[in-house]
Amino acid sequence: MSQYNSHLTTEQMSAFLDQQLSAQEQSTSQAHLNTCELCQQQLAELQQTVLLLHALPRASLPRSFVLPVESMIQSEGVAGEEDATLKIARQAHNRILVLPSYVRTTMRIASTLVAVLGLFFILSGLLAMVSGTSHVSTSLEISTKARVANSSSDTHQPQPLAGAAVAPSSNTSQPQLFAGGAAAPSPNVHQSPLPSGRAANTQNLGLSPNTSQLQPPMSPITPFFDLGTPEGHLSIGLLLLIAGIVSVTLFTRLGKQGQQEQSQ
């Protein structure tokens, strides 16, 4: 009965809440609690404290704690076969994109090659523009003569002047040279891509239209990817150079990220 009347200890009260007392202790405590208001109040306060702890929100994960595999290889010096397993595991599991170092190196080298190729194209395009002037014009002259002979057999209704006939024929001779004769050898076609103002211009220039015809007056899309023209060389070279530089920086940065993660 003395147990029945004594207040619960702190430990009894806490264990009572969790039902961790022995069956007998539990029942005597319950009996005491039924009569003792002080213990009831203390128990209620204790319960409230526990409820508060239960109600605490879980701390949200700042990141995944999946192990960084590379650092484990370094720090542990694991055996070769484990090494292979770890590499596979890393490929399968790493949430952050970390390419294997050999892939990064290969991609960097490939990008550098692409950039160098681009430079080569640019240079060759520039060279063709600077030094190729005379060469192009002579080849033009040759083909022009052929075209003149050719077109003279055709009807040249739109241009009765001999000088004017040279001008349009030289225009088609360029795409013929570089685009492999895609344009049909009909003099009527010569007229269509030429703006009328330009036709007038060539007429004024008389018999020396070739120098002014170096830049092909065709539609601007064709020479952009046309390997035959210096402009095509230039633009492809530029494209390759930009792509090369972008991917070199990209893969270098990825490599640095990988190293930082390793060091972490």
Shortest separation between residue 95's beta carbon and other proteins, angstroms = 10
Helix, strand or coil for residue 36?
A: coil
Distance of alpha carbon 66 from alpha carbon 196, whole angstroms: 71
Residue whose CB is less far from other proteins, 75 or 192: 75
**Most distant CA pair in the chain: distance in Å?**
136
258 near 103, Cβ under 8 Å? no
Question: According to CB under 8 A, which one of 25, 26, 36, 72 is a site residue for other proteins?
Answer: 72
Instruction: Report in angstroms how near the CB of residue 261 gets to other proteins at its nearest.
Output: 12
* Cβ at position 237, least distance to other proteins in Å: 45
The CA distance from 258 to 254, in Å, is 6
Contact pattern from residue 40 through residue 69 relative to other proteins, giving x for each residue in contact according to CB under 8 A and a dash for the rest: -x--xxx-xxxxxxxxxxxxxxxxxxxx-x
Of the candidate spans 74-82, 117-125, 130-138, 161-169, the one that interacts with other proteins by CB under 8 A turns out to be 74-82
Is residue 250 within the footprint of other proteins (CB under 8 A)?
no
Using CB under 8 A, pick the residue from 25, 82, 141, 261 that binds other proteins. Answer: 82
Enter the tokens of residue 40.
Answer: 């009831």
* 207 lies in the site for other proteins, by CB under 8 A: no
Question: Whole-angstrom Cα distance, residue 82 to residue 89?
Answer: 10
Distance CA 65, CA 149 (A): 81
Closest CA to 239 of 257, 255, 227: 227
Residues that bind other proteins (CB under 8 A): 9-15, 18, 20, 41, 44-46, 48-67, 69, 72, 76, 78-79, 82, 85-86, 88-90, 92-93
